[in-house]
Structure 1
């Protein structure tokens, strides 16, 4: 005769596997009888969960009683075997002068789209909407999941009044009381737009109030809300951390939260902004070549270095910056991150900007043992961010002398690289042509130094960072550069006609002969022992005007008059 096909737990209806099947002991039979209202036989079994519930109940511990009271099985059994003693909910009889939405389960209360895949609007969201918009969403109302990710503001009520019961009013009063208590404990309140002015937003977080609201949209639905901090508070903590470089202890004091809460807040906001926000405002894929040429290239740069009459060359300025870190306990990483040039451990991100200071991309960070030439070779050979398809032949790179070992490689790729000149062996100073060429490069290359300075204005990146933050340095730099691109003014911008005339003038002067240098070399004025001659003999040679030649009597008379005037004034 075949045996049972299924083995169900005697208390709960859950099917049990062979490894999760336990016989009912004698000490548990009375508890099982009391819970289920039935007498178990020798062939009945218990699941592991029900066995532990019975075991805890037998011991009589408080923990077991709490488990019994919170167990859904126990509640279901007691509700069926015993009459309910709880007070029934009061009917909706109180009418409030607040608009409300629909309360049905078949369609979304916001966009009215029918199901399925609708979720119940959480209590905290309903209460927050009541505070911000004075609209009541009835308990149990459902909405689409995407509305909870930032589109909840599109709410449209269907009724001008709301009829609620005593339970809803009590919950609302308790929530308002808790909000008032939380506001009293908050020292720096960012939930109210009017609490800080626009200038105070810039001083604390580096961006204006409107920019703060726009940045807030990128983290909605990606940062978990807690009773201790709201979404605005989380973003404010992150911005104040990277803008002012305050410690977690100071931020926990200002916002009245724990240091662990500050740490989790910074981590979650960094992860949220590192996605869509960075991809839309930084990287070679966030901007096209035509946009860089038309909107982010100065006319003076095209005049000085542009060789294409069509003006379709992209001019980029590259340079590496330093992010200082603490000494690592890992000996291998310690050696690779130590810079012999600076004499301290650091990391080197590669900054690529346009001639107006717009951040095109940030690569890295790289270890300190890599120089600028090896970094740009790695970027081009690895084709990071598909740079070799974005950069075309005859494009122009403005670099410094640290890229000297990569000039041949860039020329092989068809890229025109311009760098300040070096002095030849045995020279004490640059030639006139080399000095003028270096001045033309410096006239355009200064913008990347200002861009590096703008990054360091966010004090967190200007400090010495702990080793625990090394994996996230690249994320912080990219977020800062994205904020600068989206919300701050460009570093360099001017009138196109004025810059074109200035560029033509610089090109003309750079090709002129240094007349003063020729005269010094021809007359040997650079020698220490010069051949001096009387002034009278030089009048006809150098065209010195006789009106400026004074005799000894005239010189003494002039000096005496000045001395007499001084004595009269002194008296």
Structure 2
């Protein structure tokens, strides 16, 4: 028997270390054995595989996304045995695990408020502690193109440009999975709004009985057509603001409100990413797996609820109380720097008002905690190195306003569109950053900063003293470029070489 087969067969006695078992199944040893106790009574041992091996095959398939053909080689059993193992465990977990750890019926609204609601979300969005806050969003499971043309049309996402199905994920503000609806088709009748309206009007999982008036549903702009339905239930919908028609930038108030919503709504995005850690659901699935996709998603969500720790934002370097306090204090602030820039037409590219400098000697020193106080989040901080590296590689200058030496302007390239760049203005003194403004869509907000502002502050206040490179590798040199012009041939050299030959 090969080493790989022998290693896999150790699942029979579960002799893996916690780390190895986590890599294979997504669960540590204690968690895996606990899950096996749920399936033990319903899965019989056979001469080729024990009930632990059967569970291991199922979890390993979900975690790795490997085909049954490869699994049959690794586990040294036939493909039909692999199929039976997956089928058996799927049915057992759907009946024994999922109802206890997923669905509106498995947990009360009061328990969600008490044990699965972050104080940050209550401070930012709720008026009192009796309101339940849940976050909704669809996630995508990609499938192959079907030979049934009707199904092919209804499962094709114009937005993604590929066929898929869409489960609707509902989580608490700690990332606890409350329920998964669907999966649904993805044609025009099955938008996020259409799915939520369908769930409410049909009272799926008795959602209308579970949610109470004044509860808060945090959603994205794709749910805009559900606002009336939620209002009829007495539910308060929290959604990022829309940009007015013809406008290029959100107002400061709208940008600030949107930041409060996205600060709470990130949990559903992180929860969807947690689902895709089981690579089977991150792959393109054959159409014959469509009947079972909902079961797989629910099994993974129930497993996460039972065994994985809640999502939280302690990595922000600040606790929820401090973050909420700072965000509430800044929500009504006016961006005076924006007004100053517009009144003095400092957005024009005229260089006469600005002076290029090589160094900013009096810019305040900024550590990670101080930067987090300005950004009020980690997402902007994660992009600082990439923006700073593109700035160093480009032709941008740091410009200081001639009439006020405490104001600087930097042009940053958009990371999405090659033809677009943004001006960033920062007002400062030797002790701290006083104000900021950026031309991007969210750049006028005072609750935190956009990524462009954060990158400039990070570069001037932290990184210049550390390194000129930030570990951001440009892989262009390893690829051919069809747009590259051919090098001119020196005719004299060519003729000489011919003569010599």
Which residue does the alignment assign to 1:337?
155
Q: Distance in 2 between matches of 1:326 and 1:194?
A: 35
Measured after TM superposition, the shift of residue 295 of structure 1 is: 1.2
Deviations 1:340-388 (A, max 9, x none): 1111110000000111111110000000111101010001111111111
Measured after TM superposition, the shift of residue 192 of structure 1 is: 5.0
Instruction: After TM superposition, list the pairs within 5 Å mapping 1:361-400 onto structure 2.
Output: 361-369=179-187, 370-400=190-220
Measured after TM superposition, the shift of residue 521 of structure 1 is: 2.3
Is 2:322 aligned against 1:501?
Answer: yes
Instruction: Give secondary structure in 1 for the equivalent of 2:39.
Output: coil
CA contact (8 A) 1:353 1:359 kept: yes
Flag the structure with more relative contact order, 1 or 2, with Cα contacts below 8 A and sequence separation at least 6: 2
CA contact (8 A) 1:400 1:420 kept: yes
Q: Distance in 1 between matches of 2:114 and 2:354?
A: 61
Is 2:130 aligned against 1:298?
Answer: no
Q: Distance in 2 between matches of 1:421 and 1:323?
A: 28
Instruction: Give secondary structure in 2 for the equivalent of 1:349.
Output: strand
Q: Distance in 2 between matches of 1:290 and 1:494?
A: 24
Q: Distance in 2 between matches of 1:287 and 1:335?
A: 37
Q: Distance in 1 between matches of 2:82 and 2:6?
A: 14
Deviations 1:91-111 (A, max 9, x none): xxxxxxxxxxxxxxxxxxxxx
Which residue does the alignment assign to 1:237?
57
The counterpart of 1:266, out of the listed 72, 86, 107, is: 86
The verdict on how the C-alpha distance between 1:194 and 1:262 changes in structure 2, with shifts beyond 3 A counting, is closer
Instruction: Give secondary structure in 1 for the equivalent of 2:42.
Output: coil
Instruction: After TM superposition, list the pairs within 5 Å mapping 1:403-552 onto structure 2.
Output: 403-492=223-312, 494=314, 498-528=319-349
Which residue does the alignment assign to 1:200?
20
Give the unaligned 5+ runs of structure 1.
Answer: 1-180, 535-540, 545-571
CA contact (8 A) 1:356 1:493 kept: no
Measured after TM superposition, the shift of residue 502 of structure 1 is: 1.8
Q: In terms of mean alpha carbon deviation, does 402-411 or 373-382 score higher?
A: 402-411
Measured after TM superposition, the shift of residue 189 of structure 1 is: 2.4
Instruction: After TM superposition, list the pairs within 5 Å mapping 1:319-338 onto structure 2.
Output: 319-338=137-156
Which residue does the alignment assign to 2:169?
351
CA contact (8 A) 2:14 2:29 kept: no
Q: In terms of mean alpha carbon deviation, does 223-232 or 438-447 score higher?
A: 223-232
The verdict on how the C-alpha distance between 1:282 and 1:533 changes in structure 2, with shifts beyond 3 A counting, is closer
**Number of corresponding residues:** 355
Which residue does the alignment assign to 1:219?
39
CA contact (8 A) 1:321 1:351 kept: yes
Give the unaligned 5+ runs of structure 2.
Answer: 356-402, 407-501
Q: Distance in 1 between matches of 2:350 and 2:302?
A: 61
Deviations 1:427-472 (A, max 9, x none): 1111111111111111111111111111111000000001111000
TM-score by length of 1: 0.59
Deviations 1:255-285 (A, max 9, x none): 1110011001100110000012100111111
CA contact (8 A) 1:190 1:232 kept: no
TM-score by length of 2: 0.67
Cα RMSD after superposing both structures: 2.6
Deviations 1:165-195 (A, max 9, x none): xxxxxxxxxxxxxxxx9xxx96632465463
The structure richer in strand per residue is 2
Instruction: Give secondary structure in 1 for the equivalent of 2:166.
Output: strand
